[in-house]
Structure 1
């Protein structure tokens, strides 16, 4: 370049450099740390002289949540996540539907050892033992202890299930228990008191005898392993050894104990006497038969209450009652079903803490109130019942009071705390096979349960060796 040309450009280059340096000196946020709210820490966090706020240089922490809530439940989840994300700017939750509980858990197992898994996952209650044994989770008790979070605001009989060795490992989310649904109109027509539903196995049979006429049948209970687990707890009986797998890992199924034999014998007697219909394993089939007025009594989850009442419409009045048990059974109660939220430990501390912030939001009374009225699941937080929307919902669906009363009437014990074993999903399938074999006459109740108990015990042994 010629010297004359260089002399002409030099003033222009100098002016540009001065402007650039002035701009850099005015950027007070450069190189500073940020706090959890995304604002700069120190003098740079103060408004500039012109009154304008400094630009937020920290992106929100992303939390990926895998869940198994499809259909209308999925819409409710999407709404809660959207509300949380709009309520603050520090954390953004991305909810990802991963199919059924089994499918989601299998995907999580496949992701172990990599970074492809979620920050947080919803796992059904019978997956709890596996989640603990996986060593892949951070117990929520660590976050609770770190900030002194008040657990007394939550329902004791709900958090009990997810508490092991005095430590809460996951936060309950969607929670339910089984109740007896009955047709009050059919009860009146049969000369039964619709305000005094059966409470025992014996009373269920007596009612079914009065109700089974004119082409209609007294009852039908789906072949669902969860019901057998509940019948055990309601008799104060444990489902596996070693304190229901809670004093130490379970090593043996006691499915063939007196509680199991008594339950399956009663159930088979109802079917053999044509006082109950065997409609198979799907609760949807018993719901349809109940709504059509073909059967007078059925068992189902409290979470199904809205759907059942709405499905019946004005055809008849739906009654609800506690889960029945043998007249001579000791004190017991029901076990909570549903799922809870687990934090994975292969994510950064910042990401795990962000997941905890979301978990706390989901447990707030107003959040639980919305979840309850939109889904029918229990609020896990006591104060949710004080929310106006919950009171209004209870007026519309007074049958739900039965579920609340049953939960609160449950006596705390190892039996009602619920069994835990690493092969619970497989065990539930084995139990359903046994019930089906007994109801269809392939095996007598004792033989069916003996064989099932042995099969489950064998699977537990293999699992325990793997864990060790």
Structure 2
């Protein structure tokens, strides 16, 4: 399942690791190739649908839709993962068909993200022969499709199946909806946390029961945890831009940036929150010399590697996903660590994360949208996702704990923080815009310009905002 991934931020590819297998996709395949979509969707922007969202039934086969179960029919389904993860999804399909014997799922493997980034999905929508349902880890591209009229609203079907929005964690609702209609249905998600080494905290005179809450406390702890041998770095307390910190949007979101205007959709990068964030990163770069940090990090392994710096003691704190706890159990089983919400600055977002979310969608013109909705509700139930969640500590989108999830029953300390951060109103899905891919690329280039060339981020952000706004205007 694409939600459960590991990231080597120095590679040109992302290695995505699942409970039952591994596959790779090219780095950067996280948002839409919007130029293709803008061209092709002109043809298809006219057919309709309707839109709202259901709490999964304890009976995984019904979801309160007995009439549809009697009717049955085909469901043409596109999924993006291969290897053993494909075996998991095929198991899910088989379970659905066992519970609903009048239905037949016709599944097609469409890497890397269900056909979003390579134009395959747009092509079949334009040709009026789309699948009934698609799942993708590329939520930003999926949202762009909704914005451009390429997806069917789900509300009519959700209402008929007893969906209640109050059952869903509030932080997922903005992703699900556009113009008060529901176009995306999240399957599950990951959150990012601060991981810290307990022994190193004690050695540095820090209290592991009171991890840093604010950016100021994080910086102070990082300085105490850093070990220098003359001019050489033996250990860094913290490096803001490794692991999940390499994401273009995470730290900006924590610092309070919105990236776009929620009402108009205009690009919003010339923002003091972002300037402050890049200047904060640059303090680390200039304090320890960016080239020395680059040399120090050059030998680091990825999250599912024994050479990851948190495992080897080269870094005392890092920001990473909930699945990193599983990597620790494999590669550093004796290391005592704890997790906390990501520290935040004044005027920033407390207890916040950006989500890594898998989403279902029904393409415009789907022949069996009601059947698709039934499979969507079945496939996202905690009971169906339990095998993966119980390994990776990912979350379902529902408020209520599930007996199928062992972490809730065991009162797992890591999962408690995962749930708290996921439920926070400050957590969300930034950059829901057709230019999300371009924005991600531009912000990473800008960050490196600040860190390695000691540039003032303010004029750079102003320039990028103007550049991307022109692209947004072309798509209106």
Quick one: structure 1 residues 389 and 71, their matched pair in 2 at CA, closer, same or farther if it must change by over 3 Å? Answer: farther
Report the Cα offset of residue 258 of structure 1: 0.7
Aligned counterpart, 1:440: 452
Q: CA RMSD in A?
A: 3.1
The structure with the greater share of residues assigned to helix is 1
1:90 aligns with 2:90: no
Aligned counterpart, 1:355: 372
1:301 aligns with 2:321: yes
| Alpha-carbon contact 1:368-1:380 (below 8 Å) kept | no
Aligned counterpart, 1:364: 381
Report the Cα offset of residue 322 of structure 1: 0.9
1:406 aligns with 2:421: yes
TM-score, length-scaled by structure 2: 0.74
Aligned counterpart, 1:5: none
| Alpha-carbon contact 2:68-2:371 (below 8 Å) kept | no
Residue from 161, 170, 174 that aligns with 2:188 = 174
In 2: Cα distance, 1:82 partner to 1:275 partner: 55
Once the two structures are superposed, what CA deviation does each residue of 1:85-112 show, in whole Å capped at 9, x if it has no partner? 2222122334433223385442212322
Residue from 208, 213, 237 that aligns with 1:218 = 237
Aligned counterpart, 2:260: 240
Once the two structures are superposed, what CA deviation does each residue of 1:159-178 show, in whole Å capped at 9, x if it has no partner? 33222233222111131222
Report the Cα offset of residue 269 of structure 1: 0.9
Once the two structures are superposed, what CA deviation does each residue of 1:327-366 show, in whole Å capped at 9, x if it has no partner? 4547673343323100123222xx2111111111123342
Aligned counterpart, 2:36: none
Deviates more, 1:221-230 or 1:81-90: 221-230
What are structure 1's unaligned runs of at least 5 residues?
Answer: 1-34, 40-59
| Alpha-carbon contact 1:158-1:175 (below 8 Å) kept | no
Higher RCO (CA 8 Å, separation ≥ 6 residues): 2
| Alpha-carbon contact 1:68-1:104 (below 8 Å) kept | no
Quick one: structure 1 residues 91 and 306, their matched pair in 2 at CA, closer, same or farther if it must change by over 3 Å? Answer: farther
Report the Cα offset of residue 233 of structure 1: 3.5
Residue from 324, 340, 365 that aligns with 2:359 = 340
Report the Cα offset of residue 442 of structure 1: 6.2
Quick one: structure 1 residues 332 and 36, their matched pair in 2 at CA, closer, same or farther if it must change by over 3 Å? Answer: closer
Larger CA Rg, structure 1 vs 2: 1
In 2: Cα distance, 1:148 partner to 1:226 partner: 40
In 2: Cα distance, 1:144 partner to 1:91 partner: 18
Please list, as runs of the form range in 1=range in 2, the aligned pairs for 1:156-195 lying within 5 A after superposition.
156-195=170-209
SS in 2 for 1:193: coil
SS in 2 for 1:404: helix
| Alpha-carbon contact 1:223-1:435 (below 8 Å) kept | no
Aligned counterpart, 2:126: 113
Aligned counterpart, 2:29: none
Residue from 273, 277, 280 that aligns with 1:259 = 273
What are structure 2's unaligned runs of at least 5 residues?
Answer: 1-66, 229-233
In 2: Cα distance, 1:201 partner to 1:421 partner: 28
Once the two structures are superposed, what CA deviation does each residue of 1:49-78 show, in whole Å capped at 9, x if it has no partner? xxxxxxxxxxx6332322334556544433
In 2: Cα distance, 1:71 partner to 1:275 partner: 42
Report the Cα offset of residue 371 of structure 1: 4.1
In 2: Cα distance, 1:298 partner to 1:320 partner: 10
Report the Cα offset of residue 404 of structure 1: 0.9
In 2: Cα distance, 1:262 partner to 1:182 partner: 24
| Alpha-carbon contact 1:235-1:259 (below 8 Å) kept | yes
SS in 2 for 1:338: strand
TM-score, length-scaled by structure 1: 0.75
In 2: Cα distance, 1:341 partner to 1:92 partner: 18
